[in-house]
Structures are given as structure tokens and as C-alpha cells.
Chain A
Amino acid sequence: MFERRLYHHIDFGLLAAILALCAIGLSQIYSATGGWTAIVETQIVGILLGTVALVVCLSIDYRTLADKSHWIYGAVVVLLIYVLLFGAVRGGSRRWIDLGAFNLQPSEFAKATLALVLAKFLGDSRRGVVSNVDLVIAGAVTAIPLFIIAKQPDLGTAATLIPVAFAVAFVAGMPMRLLGILAVVAVLAAPIAWRFALQDYQKERISTFLDPAQDARGAGYQQIQARITVGSGGPWGKGFTEGTQGQLRFLPVAHNDFIFSVLAEEQGFAGVIVALGLYFFIIMRAIQAAQLAKDRLGAYLVLGVLASFTFQVIYNITMSAGLAPVKGLTLPLMSYGGSSMIATLAGFGLILNVRMRRFTN
């Protein structure tokens, strides 16, 4: 299955950028958690297992995987339902399957799986342009895992599925007019959602974002502290493990949701530009992989995987600077989290896969 010549088509630049970000993330986790801790070890294990997952996803031809995508999709949905019923409860939500040494978070794997199944469905469509029926079916396929994940509840991860669907539909030729209509509907629906759909704590987060000072010690605290953390870093940063905001716990979950703030504090604007540059390079390289893809399936798959990644990166970094409402969305490749790391690297395995096989038949 893995021919020797394919090896030469692996995008080593992309791979290097990915591993560089993993290393930066690891070092900032080391700093934020105060040295060599179990958290650092878990992250290393996550990176290693993720690399294995990447290699596996790279080795198997994506078309073979796409052929099996309905099975994979079915398995993930079953896992999600299982989690909803029997999962480990932490912080008021059921997201994990306790595997002893490891907690598996199936929702992380739902993203790549959704990308795969949508790419297969829309890529196999005989006509060049997607029909409305196709779009409705794609919507339904997206809605099932989204609904289950939202029920856990984990609205953050659920939300990352939406860009997957939109990205695939977008490149698959979804009419621009329809996009516009959906945008208008979303804007009109916002007040209704505010009134009926959102929980009180969610409303609070949003209103706090608009005016953090109204609750400086409660929900607005994290946002204010995030801005202080980033701003106090200055051009060159306070130095590795010298950040006061992260080290002294003024910033909560510094090794997780706010890892980028810790980077900004300790490495300054210079470090931020380096990390932003790496992310930008990865995304551009991936888009290029979609362009080079031999078939629609490959292009759609790359875009689907890339969409949730890009959405999460942009949202998390914006939030890290205190410029977006605080939401439990991690920063892919850098934040602490085994399942997220494995799923993300597996996703990149697919992207590398598509690029590597651009010349095969």
C-alpha cells in the first residue's frame, strides 16, 4: 500500500511546522504548570500517539478510507452516544471515555470523520455543482454528531463541526447566494437564540465579553486577565517560565485554553509572530494541498479537516488576547489534551495523505 516513491511526496515542510508548534506548546505547558509534571508527560504521550495516528492516516490511501467512511462515521456516532450515556463526568459534562491511563474524547475525532464522510458524499456527486438535496443531506449528516456533542454539553466542540460542513459545501460549489441567505438568517436568528436557546451562563459570557468590567471578579475576570497577560508581555516577553500572570495563576487553565496567552507573555510579540506565522504557513500549505489534490474527494477532505482546525486556531488565539468571549476551545497542536492532539495529528495525516498521493491513480 505504501510505495517507496510516495515517501518523496510527503510535505516535510508542513510536517516540520506541525512538530515545531507541538514543541512550542509543550515548552509552554512545561512553563505554565511549573516544571516537569504529569501533565507534560501526558502531552508527550499524546504527541507520540498522535504521530502514530498521523502515520497510520498517511499510509492508508484516503480513497480507501473514504470508501469505509460510512462505517467510521457510524462508529463515531455510536461512541458519542455511548459517552452521552456512560461517559465520565467532569466539570458538569460527559465528554470522556475513561480508559484508565487515558481519557478518550470521541468528539475530537468527530471532526475528521465528518470531513471524511462529507468529502466522500459530495465528492462522489456526479454533477459538478451540488444540489440543494445534497446540501440538506450534508446538513443532516453534520447535525447528528453536532446535536449529540451539544447534549454532552460541549458547545465549543459542537460548533467546530459547522465550519467543516460549510467549508466542504463551499468548495463543492454551494451557491454564494445561499451563503448570503444563511448569513442573514443567522443574524436574524441571533436575538431569538438569545431569548430561547441560550443558557444563563452562556448569556452571561457574551454580555461579559461586551463589557468585562461589569463582572471584573467573575466571568469578566478571565478576559481582563488574558489581555493583561498578553499586553504585559511586550515586544520580547518576560522570558521562559518568568511570566507572572501564568505562573501565579492569575490566568486560569493557562496550560490549556490560554496556552497562547502564556506564550505571548513569556515570548512577547516576537514569539506571537513566530507562532502565528507557523499556523499561517500550515493553513496555506494545506490549502495548497487541496489545490494540488488529484480529485474532488481529496480537495474536499483537506478543506473539511482544515476548516475545524482553522476555526479553532483563530477563535482560540482571539480569545487568548481577550478579544473574544471565553469558551472552552483549545488551541490545536499547542494546548494540553491527548485526544485533541491525536485527532489533530490524525487529521494532518489525511491532509498529507491527499498531497502525497496527488500523482497516483
Chain B
Amino acid sequence: MASTEDRRRIDGRLTILRWGVALTFGALAVGFWFLQIVQHAQFREMAENNHQRTLALRAPRGVLFDRNGKVLVENRGSLTVSIVREHTKDLDRTINLVSEVAGLDVEDVRQIVERHKGEPAYRPIVVLEDASLAQVAALSARRLDFELPDVVVEEVPMRRYPTEALAAHLFGYVGEASDAQIGDGIATGSIVGQSGVERVYNKLLMGEDGARRVVVNSMGREIRTLEEVPPVAGRRVQLTIDYDLQKAAEDGFRHAGFNGSAVILDPRDGEVLSLVSLPAYDPNDFASGIDSATWAALNTDSLRPLQNRAIQGRYSPGSTFKIVVATAALEEGLVTPDFKVNCPGGASFFGRYFMCHLRGGHGLMDMRHALEKSCNVYFYTLGNMLGVDKIHKWAEKLGLAGKTGIDLPNEQESLVPSTAWKLERTGERWYPGETISVSIGQGQVSVTPASLAVMIATVANGGTRVTPHVIRAVDEGAGWKKVVPTAVADRVAFRPETLSALHDGLWMVVNASGTGGRARIAGRDVSGKTGTAQVISNQGRLAARNSGRDLRDHGWFVFFAPRDNPQIAGVIFGEHNEHGFLGAPIAKHVIETYFAKQEGRPLPTLDPVVPPTPVLDQEIDPDTAIVQVLPAARGTASGTH
């Protein structure tokens, strides 16, 4: 029925349609060829990024043990809350909602997110460490409602520090790696040691984070694990610290009612048995990501709890320095222990009158009694005979100048002046008159408690300057391996008469009529020396009277026990406690604990009821000496008596 004309038209138009369809299909095939062949690699990677996640598995840090194998610092499971921006539609809304539900400060959370903005969107940003169960429950409820699909709760290992014997400054604390710390195996967001042992031995303790490659669906839900590299826990590390001695020392301070520092060593090898700095912070606060308020409070506290006084606080050593002067005079061969000086209550040197603390004078003194009584005139005389450079030389040999080399970060150098030092620092020559103050530990002398502990350990062991250290053994995976201690810094064998004179004199301080009687323990032959570190000169004290600063003096007590073949030595520094002898009971408690433990007896306890001992006004502290009054020419009788 169709006409030929019709047929021709239809055929023509069908041919056009055929070509149209053929070209379109050809174009489609080319399009797919481009996507699937040419750009395949790129799209394959995009697809993998879509459904594969690599999640970091935080490695537990190495457990820290004390010298007896007691666990000091370990790890516990803790819940962290993170935002994974990849699944976030409205980041502001998520931040607000998370903050509201978990009770966090919105600005804090925003800052955390801002700090990690440059990282890949699939990497979780931890906004809350160590979340409480209530917080997790509240967040999970919102998650289930699909209100917070971009929030992830994970369990990670977290540091747990002891609370009773804190040793905070020894352990230090951990925190997220700063930009400067990143690299050398430390990735963004890693938790690294920021201070103390945690920092120095971070490499050992950190372990290696593991990773888990998982398949997730479009909602970010994990479907299955493709591959898992388990984390490698940090090395177990044994410290030289004895938990019981650490606790004894800290208890002692609490009992005595003042802050300060204690460094207790084994004088034979320099192992640190206890290291105290008070006031302290709680490292547990840092482990869970310290909040800005706590951090600000720690930083602005006038008592400076973050400072490790044991190695960073520098104070004048006061009368404890007389041990250095005595050693120098004896070892230089200037005098023998029988050398006698008459103390009339003061003496003039270079036109100035320097006083002894006992107004009536000590009378004729030999070395042993001069140490026992802490006679200033005796040591002025020795100092004057030695000169500052010899004093410096022996201070250095005893470990009082420079750093002790302890394996803790940011140690300060102790300073004992010399002529060269003064010339270099001020361009002025040394005046011999300055030596007189130095010889009783005042003037420019300024030392850390740790260096004073090394000094007394050196005196205790007869001349071997040990390097204090806190690490004892490491478990590299095949059992404990003892860490070879740092080589001894210096070794001088004291003459026998030097040693016996020093040991006798220091024994008499505690066990005869000296100032250290409060450390006396029957049968232990505790030897020691008190000292006072002036916070401000007598003249300055008047001027600064109303400044509000705490101007009370610091007290020192250095000690070792027993006198012969000492096993324990150390220093107690009492901040603003005014009297060195107030530190002696702390030392006594530590020494008693030490021997009780050694002999398997019950550990001593401190009587809890005794309030801080009130110091009677009339009780004269021989260390609190007025060193110098006006120049002799203007009259020796001064109103400051």
C-alpha cells in the first residue's frame, strides 16, 4: 500500500536515524573507554579511598617498673571521642552538638579541629580523650539517631601514673607531638613524652603504632578488616627508683609541711633511689589531654609546680658548701685535719668584718669540730688560704659545678665562681674578699639539689663522682637487660685522713652536738650537714619586706649512711622552711625505710598527728649566719646584731 515515494522517504529518514544511533553508541563506547581504560588508575584509587580506611592502632607505651619490679606507670583502656570530617555535612553543627552533648567547651573543640584542618578528612580528630562513660553514652545515643554519624568512639591505651608516690617530675608526662617533634618515626597526632623519663626514653617507651585497613560502607560503618598490623608495645623499662623510698620522701615532706626537693642516691653507683620535687602536678591530667584551665593554672602558679626543682632549681648551698672547702683544703695539702683556728665570734678579712653565727665565738676548733659546729671563722680562714679557684676546682671534682649529667631533660648548670668565670662574665677581676662569702656557700654560689646530692655521694664514697641516673634495665623483648650506667664522671681517691676527718665531722653533726640531731638513728651512723640558702640579703630583706614575696630562707640537709661504707646518700631541700635541720627528719624517715626494707622489717610510718614543728624564736640556727656587716673602717659594732 505504501507508495514507492513513501518507501524512499522512510528509507532515507531511517538511514539518518541509523547513523544517529550508531554515532551516539560510538560516542558512548569512547566515553566508557576513557573512563575505564584511560583514567582507570585514577578512579581505582578514588574507589579505594572511598571504601578503605587505614586506622591507626595506638601502641601502649612501655610499662615503667621500680628497682624491685613494682609497676610504677602502666596503661589502661580509655575512650576517646573523635570527629571524622569525611562524613560531616555541617562541621559547625557537629562541633556544637558534640560539645553540648559531652559537656565540652565549644571554643576548645573548635580550636582542636582547626589545628588538624590540613589533615586528610578521613583521619579522626580526637576532640575528647578519656571520655567518661556518661559522655560516651550520651554521644552514642546521638550517633544511633544519625545525628552524629561523623563521631567515632575508640578505645585506646592511656598512661596511668601512681597517685600516692607521684614522682611526677621524674616520670614527666606525655602529650600530643608538637610540630617540632614530628619526624623521625613520630607522626602527626602521636603521643610522645614531653618531660621527664617519658621524654628522655621516649624512643624506648613509645613502641610502634599499628594499623588496620578496613572496608567501610557509604555510611562509614566498618564492614570487614582487610589487613591488620598489630601495634608493638613500648619497651618495658626498669627505673632505679625504689617506690618505697620515693613514697617515704614524699610522705616526709607532707608530714613536715613544706615544699622542696629530695634527691636520694646510691653513692656507690649513682642510681637514683628517689627524686622528689614539690609541689607537683598530676601526670594523669596530661595523659588524658590536659584542659586549658588546668594548664593555665599550672603555668601561672607562683609555686611553679611544673619546675623540677631537683635539677632546675638553683639555690645557694649555704653551710653544706663547707664540706667542699674542707675537702679542698685537705686534699690540696694546705692543712691537716688537726689544723686549728680560734673563733672569737668573727674575723676581719680585707678590711671587712665577717661574723660567725655564735656571737661569743667557738673558741679553738679543729676540722672535725668546725664541721660539727659549722664554724664560719674556720672556713673563712680555709677559704682565704685556698683562693676561689681552688675552691672551684674541688667543687667541680665533687660534682657541684656544671651539670650532673642525670638522664632527665633540661637540667640546669650549677655554678661555683672562679676568677676566670667572673672575668668572662663581668670583665672584672676577682676580689679576694669575695672568696670569704663563697667559702661558706654564699655569694655567687648557686647549685641544684641534684648536684648537691652528687657532692655528698662523692664525699660518702671517698672521691668517686658518680653520674646520677634513673634507668636500670630495659626489656628489649628477651628479658631484662641491664643498662650500662654512664661512666663515672671523675675519680679522685681521697687521702684516708681527709675521708676520716670529713666522715667524723659529718657524723658528729648528727650524732654529737651538731645541728643534724633530728636525723640520728641508733646504730646507723647517719652523717650529714645542714645549710641555709638565703633567699635575699639582709639589707634586701628590709626593702622587700612588703612585696608579698616569700622571703623566708630555704633549708638544706645533705646526708649519707652509714658513715663507713655508705649505701645511701642524698639531699633534702626545704623550700622556705627557714631551717636546714627541719629536713633532717625527712632524711631519717627515708634512711629508716631503706634499712627496714633491706632487713625485711616492716616499713616505718610517720606519726600522723604531729603538726609542723613550731620553731622557737630563741632556738638559734647556726646556719642562719649574718656573714658580713659594714666595712671595718666604719665601725664593727653594728645594730644588726
* Contact between chains at B47 and A244 (CB < 8 Å): yes
Within 8 A of B (CB), among A225-253: 225, 227-235, 244-245, 248-250
User: B32's contact among A272, A296, A299, A303, by CB below 8 Å, is which?
Assistant: A272
Cβ-defined contact, A248 with B24, below 8 A: no
B residues near A323, Cβ cutoff 8 Å: 31
User: Quick one: which of B147-200 are within 8 Å of A by CB?
Assistant: none
Cβ-Cβ contact count across A and B, 8 Å cutoff: 131
**CA–CA, A279 to B25, complex, Å?**
9
A128 near B17 with CB under 8 A, answer no
- Which among B213-221, B291-299, B326-334 touches the partner chain? B213-221
Residues of B within 8 A of A314 (CB): 24-25, 28
Question: Could you say which residues of chain A place their CB within 8 Å of the CB of B9?
Answer: 128, 171, 173
- Confirm or deny: A84 has a beta carbon within 8 angstroms of a beta carbon on chain B: no
Question: Which size class do A's interface residues fall under?
Answer: 35 or more
Contact B2 A264 (CB under 8 A): no
Whether B13 is near chain A, meaning CB under 8 Å from some CB there, is yes
Binds B, one of A23-31, A186-194, A280-288: A280-288
With A231-B44, A248-B218, A276-B29 as known contacts, state yes or no: A268 contacts B36, CB within 8 Å.
yes
CB under 8 Å from chain B, chain A span 325-341: none
The yes or no answer to A59 lying at the interface (CB within 8 A) is: no
Please determine whether B36 and A230 come into contact, CB atoms closer than 8 angstroms. yes
Task: Establish whether residues A321 and B32, one from each chain, have CB atoms under 8 Å apart when the complex forms.
Answer: yes
Residue pair A234, B50 in contact (C-beta under 8 Å): no
Residue pair A231, B21 in contact (C-beta under 8 Å)? no
> Is B21 a contact of A269 with CB atoms below 8 Å?
no
Task: Enumerate chain B residues within 8 angstroms of A295, measured Cβ to Cβ.
Answer: 1-2
Query: A280-B22, A290-B10, A295-B2 given as contacts; is B32 within 8 A of A230 (CB)?
Result: yes
Asked if A321 and B35 make an inter-chain contact with CB atoms under 8 angstroms apart, the answer reads yes
CB pair B10–A228 under 8 Å, yes or no, is no
Check A228/B28 contact, CB under 8 A, given A269-B33, A269-B37: no
Determine the chain A residues whose CB is within 8 A of the CB of B25 once the complex forms: 276, 279-280, 314
A334 to B537, CA, bound (A): 97
CA distance A279 to B21 in the complex (A): 10
A73 to chain B, nearest CB (A): 23
Q: 8 Å CB contacts to A: which residues of B15-57? A: 17-18, 21-22, 24-25, 28-29, 31-33, 35-37, 39-40, 42-44, 46-48, 50-51
* A317 on interface, CB distance cutoff 8 Å: yes
Evaluate contact between B50 and A235: CB separation under 8 angstroms.
no
Residue of B nearest to A232 (CB): B47
A250 and B51 form a contact (CB under 8 A): yes
Contact indicator A264/B50 (Cβ below 8 Å): no
Report whether B36 and A171 are in contact in the complex, using a CB–CB cutoff of 8 Å.
Answer: no
Q: A228-B46, A280-B25, A310-B21 are in contact. Are A264 and B32 (CB under 8 A)?
A: yes
A82 at the interface (CB under 8 A from B): no
Instruction: Give the distance to chain A from B24, nearest Cβ to Cβ, in Å.
Output: 6
With a CB–CB cut-off of 8 A, which chain B residues contact A42? none
A201-228 residues at the B interface, CB under 8 angstroms: 217, 225, 227-228
Closest to A310 in B: B21
State the majority secondary structure of interface residues on B: helix
Name A252's closest neighbour in chain B (CB-CB).
B218
Shortest Cβ distance from A265 into chain B, in angstroms? Answer: 8
Q: Pick the residue among A233, A280, A310 that contacts B36 (CB under 8 A).
A: A233
Set B6, B11, B18, B43: member contacting A128, Cβ < 8 A? B6
Mask, A269-311, CB within 8 Å of B = 1, is 1001100100110011001001100111001000100000010
Q: Is the CB of A284 within 8 A of B18?
A: yes
- Determine which of A227, A244, A273, A303 lies in contact with B35 in the assembled complex, contact meaning CB atoms within 8 Å: A227
Q: Is A318 an interface residue (CB 8 A)?
A: yes
- A276 to chain B: which residues have CB within 8 Å? 25, 28-29, 32
Chain B proximity of A215: nearest CB distance (Å) = 11
Check A232 against B44 for contact (C-beta < 8 Å): yes
Residues of A within 8 A of B47 (CB): 228-229, 231-232, 244-245, 250
Enumerate A134-183 residues with CB–CB distance to B below 8 Å.
Answer: 167, 170-171, 173
Q: Is the CB of A272 within 8 A of B216?
A: no
Decide if B36 touches A264 in the complex (CB within 8 Å).
yes
Is the CB of B426 closer than 8 A to any CB of chain A?
no
Question: Bound state CA distance, A96 and B84, in angstroms?
Answer: 41
Contact B223 A230 (CB under 8 A): no
Do the beta carbons of A249 and B40 come within 8 Å of each other? no
* Complex-state Cα separation, A233 to B44, whole angstroms: 7
Is A250 a contact partner of B50 (Cβ separation < 8 A)?
yes
Q: Are B43 and A317 in contact (CB-based, < 8 A)?
A: no
B21 touches A171 (CB 8 A): no
- Give B304-318 as 1s and 0s: 1 = Cβ < 8 Å from A's Cβ atoms: 000000000000000
Instruction: Say yes or no: A248-B217 contact (C-beta < 8 A), given A230-B43, A296-B2, A314-B28.
Output: yes
- A232 pairs with B31, CB closer than 8 A: no
Report Cα–Cα, A228/B5, bound state, in Å: 50
B43 touches A232 (CB 8 A): yes
Considering only residues 207-263 of chain B, those with a C-beta below 8 Å from chain A are 215-219, 223
Q: Which interface residue of A228, A249, A276 has the most chain B CB atoms within 10 A?
A: A228
Nearest CB of chain B from residue A220's CB, rounded to whole Å = 13
List, in ascending order, chain B residues with CB within 8 A of A248's CB. Answer: 50-51, 215-218, 223
Q: Are A250 and B218 in contact (CB under 8 A)?
A: yes
Interface flag for B3 (CB, 8 Å): yes
- The CA of A250 and the CA of B14, in the complex, are separated in Å by 41
Residue B481 CB within 8 A of the other chain: no
Chain B residues whose CB sits within 8 angstroms of the CB of A228 once the complex forms: 43, 46-47, 50
Complex Cα distance A294/B1, Å?
8
Are B28 and A231 in touch, CB under 8 angstroms?
no
Q: Is the CB–CB distance between B46 and A249 below 8 Å?
A: no
Measured between beta carbons, the chain B residues less than 8 angstroms from A303 are 14, 17
Across-interface contacts of B32 in A (CB, < 8 A): 230, 264, 269, 272-273, 276, 321
Residue in contact with B40 in the complex, picked from A229, A231, A310, CB distance below 8 Å: A231
Minimum distance in angstroms from B7 CB to a CB of chain A: 9
Whether a CB of chain A sits under 8 angstroms from the CB of B597 is no
**CB-CB nearest in chain A for B17:** A287
Chain B positions 105 through 124: 1 when the CB is less than 8 Å from some CB of chain A, otherwise 0: 00000000000000000000
Residue of B nearest to A291 (CB): B14
Residue numbers in B under 8 Å from A268 (CB-CB) = 36
Interchain residue pairs A-B with the least CB separation, the first 8: A231-B43, A232-B47, A248-B217, A269-B36, A249-B218, A231-B35, A234-B40, A232-B43
Q: A234-B40, A273-B32, A296-B10 are in contact. List 4 more A-B contacts (CB 8 A).
A: A279-B25, A295-B2, A303-B17, A314-B28
Q: What are 21 of the A-B contact pairs (CB < 8 Å)? A: A128-B3, A170-B13, A171-B14, A171-B17, A231-B44, A232-B47, A235-B37, A244-B48, A244-B215, A245-B50, A248-B51, A248-B215, A248-B218, A250-B217, A276-B28, A280-B25, A290-B10, A291-B11, A295-B1, A310-B21, A314-B28
